[in-house]
Structures are given as structure tokens and as C-alpha cells.
Chain A
Amino acid sequence: MTGRRKSGRSAAVVASTVVLALGGSIAAQTQPPRQAARPAPRAGTWEVGGGGAFVGGYDLGDRPANLSPNLSGGSNPFLLFDTSSDIGVAPGLQARLGFFVSRSLLVEGGLRYAKPELTIRATGDTEGAVPVSAVSEVSQYLVDGSAVWHFHNASFAGGRGVPFVVGGAGYLRELHEGNELIETGVEYHAGGGLKYWFGSAPRRFGLRGEAALSIRDGGIDFEEGRRTVPVASVTLVYIF
């Protein structure tokens, strides 16, 4: 009796395995092959990454150094010299940590650091001073939160390449040279990019390339109002 029961179980196990295998085969034939071969991150998956960024600069405007004219000689301001100022483009470093809420939606937080230069160019001095481009360094920190939506149905290269869009907001903290003067602001960003995974294991590395527009209100600026800064980044990511 015992031996027959064992034989019977074995037969049943074999049978069900065949059914599952067949089922898998049927499913594989009705779905795009890449989804079966590259299981996407699931809800509960973490993504961590770090890499480099390229943060665009922006114009701070022109401002003349004027003296008030003696009105008996005309009403035009007396130009002592002229200036134009900007924040330069700068490379940066960034780190991000995210959590997949669903297979397509990642929520993440990040920190980006860049060190652009603040430049004031002085020209046209009334007493002939040699024009100068005076500079100082700015330490720029951005702490942000974002939502990332992945378009798995637009993936390519066997599911390794996945496009995404991203949007979020952040806190901008800029320290002038010497770290004694801090200017803060808020930041909003929206953009898109591509992730390319190395392999298909549940834990794997990938590259994330992204371009975005960063809209900033506050921070270093000589005028009231928002400004838009382009940002591009490449990040090495790892999911687990």
C-alpha cells in the first residue's frame, strides 16, 4: 500500500509539472517574449543609485552702476560701469533611493550636489579700469522627492530598456563661497529618461539616463520670480 501511494504521488507531481510547463508555454506564446524573460521590478522592490549630473546655468541679468546726474547737465544717469552676472553650468553628483509602489510606479528621494560659479562681469568703466570677470563658487544642494512612471509596454532590447517619465519637487539650498551666506528656495522638476538593465535577475544593476527641466523659485537670483534650469544625469542603479 505504501509503495503504491508513493508511486501515485510521484505520478501526480509529474502530471502537474507538465501542466504548469504547458501552461507556461502557452502563456509564453501569447505574450511578448521579453516579459517572460525579464521580470520587471515588482511592488516592494527598492532601487538605489548614484551618479553624475550636469546642471545648467542661468542668467542673473545686467545691472549698470549708475550715479545720479546733475540735472543741470541732463537727465541721463551717469554710468560708472556696467555689469552682467550669471550662474554657470556645473557638473554635479547625485544619489537616489526609491521604492516601487507598483511594477510601474517608483517613488524616490534624492540628493544632488553641484558647485557652479557665480560670475559678475564688469565692463565700460568710465575711468578706464580693465574689464573683469569676477567669480565666486557656490555650493548647491538639492533635496527632492519624485514619482517615476515606467512604460513597460514601450520597453525594448528584450525588456532591458525601459523609458520613464519623472516629476517632483525639492528644497534648494545654496551656500555662497565661505559658507557664511545661505540662500534657499523650492524646486519643481519634470522630465524623462531611460533605464537600461544589465541582466534579468531580481537583483541587478542598470543605468539610468535622464533629462529634466528644473524650475526654481528662490536660491541665488537677482530678480524675483522663477527660472528654469536644464538638468541631465546618468546614474548607476541597483534594484533589490
Chain B
Amino acid sequence: MAGRRVLAAAALLILLTVPAGAYLKLGTRSGGSTITLRWREFPVRYFVTNDAVSGVSPQQFQAAVARAFGTWEAVETASTSSEFVGFTEAPPFDEDGMSVLGFLERSEQSRTLAATTFLIDTLDGRILESDIFFNSTFPWSTAEAGVTGRFDVESIAVHEIGHLLGLSHSALGETEMVSGGRRVIAAEAAMFPIAFSAGSIQDRTLTADDIAGISDIYGTTDFVREYGSISGRVTKNGTGVIGAHVTAFNPGTGKIVGGFSLSEDGRFTIAGLEPGPYLLRVEPLDDADIESFFDASLDVDVNFNVKFYERVVIVPRGGTAGNVEIRVTPR
């Protein structure tokens, strides 16, 4: 049994990604195919460390984490649940059979606010344990309205718990290069890999992209029956494009859900879409480090022009709109 278990890398260093996702789901390779990482048993039982940091007591931290779990559990089209077991001395990132969330001092990771690790069954993708650490090097807050200059525990917990539940990063955002890294100009997913500025509480709220993703993994019967998907290919000069970011925009609701082409023939699937007409747009992955999304072995193509698909794509209820081919041109 021990041989089947692997302590996976931190979520910020993505494992494998599963193409049949609303955007990106975490996956693992088994028998030549990639399977989605997911919890098979609910509630997810978690512990919280009893370490405090400046401005945040263990109790405040636990309450913020509980609210973040609650945000995901409130998604009507997905079925997840969690249970706070208690405070613990055990640190995150130990392979101890306990899912632990808490602060750790990681001053050497100067650009990492938090990270998530997994213990998984590599045969079936079952998540056995998942730990989240919050880097105590940064200033934190749990204040209801946020505190300028301090990162909001609840917002970052929403993002990391998304990982804990099996989601990878979304590319629905725009960034700019500043000294010391990238700065987010705008984003439309709590799962965008770069956090909003310190003091922001924006990521406490899930977007359509986040909801589609979690519903794709833990969708209710109603979700499967009432929502649909789009699948197709992104090609350049007749060959598939790997790593293209494809977004589906619903002009009726204004909601945007993204996905990626993840295979050599450029195939993509965007699931968790409300039925209706959609406009598709494809762009290269140029607003975050590629390693934030994909395994380093993936030969991601960013050398093409942004393009809209020329046809309106109709997403059926409970079905898939297929046969979409978006032909992009080299830059």
C-alpha cells in the first residue's frame, strides 16, 4: 500500500493537468492515462496548527479557514464538505495522515504566500491527505474588511483550498511585470496563480471559472444534467497547439470560463458551462509563469496571435458542443 502512495509536490509546482477540466484540474498518471485528483470521502477532515503570527491568533486563523471551506461548500452545483477536527502541534507538510493547515516560516520562498501538498493514491487519484502552509514571512490579517499591507488569510485560504480539493490554476487574469515579479492588473478567478495586492479581500469570492472547475470534479446530479461543455482543437498551420488558453464567454451572463489545450493535437475541453451561446477566444499563456500551470515537460506554445473563433458555439444542456477548431496564426 505504501508503494501506491506518493507525497506529491506543492500545488504551486503543478503535478499533471487533466484536459477534461473546466480549466485545470490536478491529475496523476496511471496506466498510461491521466486521472483527476479528488477526494473520495467527505467531509474532508482537517487540523489547524496552534501557531500564531502577528495579528492572527490560531482561533482567528481557524475561523478564516472555516469560512474559506464554506465558500467552496456553498457552490450549489458541487458537493463538498469539510470538518474541523482540532488544533495540532503537527506542522503542515508532514506525511502523517492528517490534513493540516497552518503557518510556517519560509523566508527563502520570498514569492510564495502559501502552498498545498498532497498525499495521493496514484492508482486511482484519490487524495488521502493534503496540507496547506501559509508563509509567516508575510504580514497577515483576518479582519473582516482586510487591512492595508497585510494579506487576507481567508482570500488566500480560498485559493489554497481550491488546490486541496483538486483544482489547479486558472489563467483568467492579466498581469504586468514589475520589479520583483508580476503584479496582477485584473483577474476573474480565485484560482489565478498570483494574488491580488496585500489588503485585498477580493479572492474570498468565487467566480464562474472557479465554480465551473469545482463542479466539474464534484458536480451534483443536477450539474451533470443541466450544464454542458465545449470541446475542440486549437491548431496552427494544421498542427495542434499545446498550452493555448481558451476562454468561453457567455454574452447573456457576462461570465467567462477558461480551459487549455493540453494534448499534442491541441484538444481542449471547457466544462461546467450554462447552456447557451458562447464566444470563444484563444490566447497564448503569457500572464504568468508557465510552470505555474503545467508540468515542465509540456511543450507549451506561446508563439501565436490572440484570436476569436468565427462561429457562435451553442452549449447544450447536459451535453458537449464539439467539432470546434480554432486556427491561430504564428506571431
Name A's B-contacting residues (CB within 8 A).
Answer: 60-61, 63-73, 77-78, 80-81, 83, 85, 118-120, 122, 125-132, 134-136, 176-178, 180-181, 222
Known contacts A134-B308, A134-B309: A120-B277 contact under CB 8 Å: yes
Which residues of chain B from 236 to 262 have a CB within 8 Å of any chain A CB? 249, 251-252, 254, 256
Chain A minimum-CB-distance residue to B205: A68
| Cross-chain contact B277 with A136 (CB below 8 angstroms) | yes
Which residues of chain B from 214 to 255 have a CB within 8 Å of any chain A CB? 249, 251-252, 254
Chain B minimum-CB-distance residue to A128: B306
CB distance from A191 to the nearest CB of B (A): 30
| Cross-chain contact A83 with B186 (CB below 8 angstroms) | no
| Interface pairs (24), CB distance under 8 Å | A64-B254, A66-B188, A67-B174, A67-B186, A67-B187, A68-B188, A69-B185, A69-B186, A71-B196, A72-B197, A78-B174, A85-B277, A118-B312, A120-B312, A134-B309, A134-B311, A135-B310, A135-B311, A178-B316, A178-B321, A180-B321, A181-B315, A222-B251, A222-B252
Taken together as a complex, chains A and B put the C-alpha atoms of A60 and B300 apart, in Å, by 37
Taken together as a complex, chains A and B put the C-alpha atoms of A69 and B174 apart, in Å, by 9
Is B184 at the interface (CB under 8 A from chain A)?
A: yes
Known contacts A67-B173, A118-B312, A122-B308: A127-B256 contact under CB 8 Å: no
Is B150 at the interface (CB under 8 A from chain A)?
A: no
| Cross-chain contact B186 with A77 (CB below 8 angstroms) | yes
Partner of B307, one of A63, A68, A120, A129: A129
In the complex, which residues of chain B have a beta carbon less than 8 angstroms from the beta carbon of A180?
Answer: 314, 316-317, 319, 321
Is B183 at the interface (CB under 8 A from chain A)?
A: yes
Is B275 at the interface (CB under 8 A from chain A)?
A: yes
| Cross-chain contact B277 with A176 (CB below 8 angstroms) | yes
Taken together as a complex, chains A and B put the C-alpha atoms of A155 and B85 apart, in Å, by 87
Known contacts A128-B306, A129-B281, A176-B314: A73-B254 contact under CB 8 Å: no
Is B199 at the interface (CB under 8 A from chain A)?
A: yes
Known contacts A63-B254, A78-B174: A181-B185 contact under CB 8 Å: no
Is B95 at the interface (CB under 8 A from chain A)?
A: no
CB distance from A162 to the nearest CB of B (A): 43
Chain A minimum-CB-distance residue to B195: A70
Is B57 at the interface (CB under 8 A from chain A)?
A: no
CB distance from B124 to the nearest CB of A (A): 33
| Cross-chain contact A65 with B254 (CB below 8 angstroms) | yes
Chain A minimum-CB-distance residue to B322: A178
CB distance from B148 to the nearest CB of A (A): 9
- Total A-B contacts with CB atoms under 8 angstroms apart: 123
In the complex, which residues of chain B have a beta carbon less than 8 angstroms from the beta carbon of A71?
Answer: 196-197, 200, 202
Taken together as a complex, chains A and B put the C-alpha atoms of A211 and B183 apart, in Å, by 59
Partner of B277, one of A68, A73, A118: A118
Is B58 at the interface (CB under 8 A from chain A)?
A: no
CB distance from B219 to the nearest CB of A (A): 19
Taken together as a complex, chains A and B put the C-alpha atoms of A72 and B187 apart, in Å, by 13
In the complex, which residues of chain B have a beta carbon less than 8 angstroms from the beta carbon of A73?
Answer: 185
CB distance from A72 to the nearest CB of B (A): 4
Which residues of chain B from 289 to 303 have a CB within 8 Å of any chain A CB? none
Chain B minimum-CB-distance residue to A84: B251
| Cross-chain contact A72 with B200 (CB below 8 angstroms) | yes
Known contacts A127-B283, A178-B321: A66-B202 contact under CB 8 Å: no
Taken together as a complex, chains A and B put the C-alpha atoms of A127 and B158 apart, in Å, by 29
| Cross-chain contact A132 with B310 (CB below 8 angstroms) | yes
| Cross-chain contact B186 with A136 (CB below 8 angstroms) | no
Contact with A along B160-193 (1 / 0, CB 8 A): 0000000000001110000000011111100000
In the complex, which residues of chain A have a beta carbon less than 8 angstroms from the beta carbon of B310?
Answer: 132, 134-135
Taken together as a complex, chains A and B put the C-alpha atoms of A134 and B196 apart, in Å, by 33
In the complex, which residues of chain B have a beta carbon less than 8 angstroms from the beta carbon of A83?
Answer: 249, 251, 279
Is B305 at the interface (CB under 8 A from chain A)?
A: yes
Taken together as a complex, chains A and B put the C-alpha atoms of A80 and B186 apart, in Å, by 10
Is B139 at the interface (CB under 8 A from chain A)?
A: no
Name which of B188, B197, B310 has the most chain A CB atoms within 10 A of its CB: B188
Taken together as a complex, chains A and B put the C-alpha atoms of A151 and B228 apart, in Å, by 53
In the complex, which residues of chain B have a beta carbon less than 8 angstroms from the beta carbon of A135?
Answer: 310-312
Taken together as a complex, chains A and B put the C-alpha atoms of A181 and B160 apart, in Å, by 36
Known contacts A63-B254, A122-B281: A130-B317 contact under CB 8 Å: no
In the complex, which residues of chain A have a beta carbon less than 8 angstroms from the beta carbon of B279?
Answer: 83, 120, 122, 134
| Cross-chain contact A63 with B252 (CB below 8 angstroms) | yes
Taken together as a complex, chains A and B put the C-alpha atoms of A211 and B315 apart, in Å, by 35
Q: 5 closest Cβ contacts across the A-B interface? A: A78-B186, A180-B316, A67-B186, A136-B312, A72-B197
With A67-B186, A130-B307 already in contact, 19 other A-B pairs whose C-beta atoms are closer than 8 Å? A68-B186, A68-B188, A68-B202, A70-B186, A71-B196, A83-B249, A118-B312, A125-B306, A127-B306, A128-B305, A129-B283, A129-B307, A129-B308, A134-B312, A135-B312, A177-B314, A178-B321, A180-B321, A181-B316
CB distance from B209 to the nearest CB of A (A): 10
In the complex, which residues of chain A have a beta carbon less than 8 angstroms from the beta carbon of B184?
Answer: 70
Chain B minimum-CB-distance residue to A66: B254
Which residues of chain B from 100 to 129 have a CB within 8 Å of any chain A CB? none
| Cross-chain contact B317 with A181 (CB below 8 angstroms) | yes
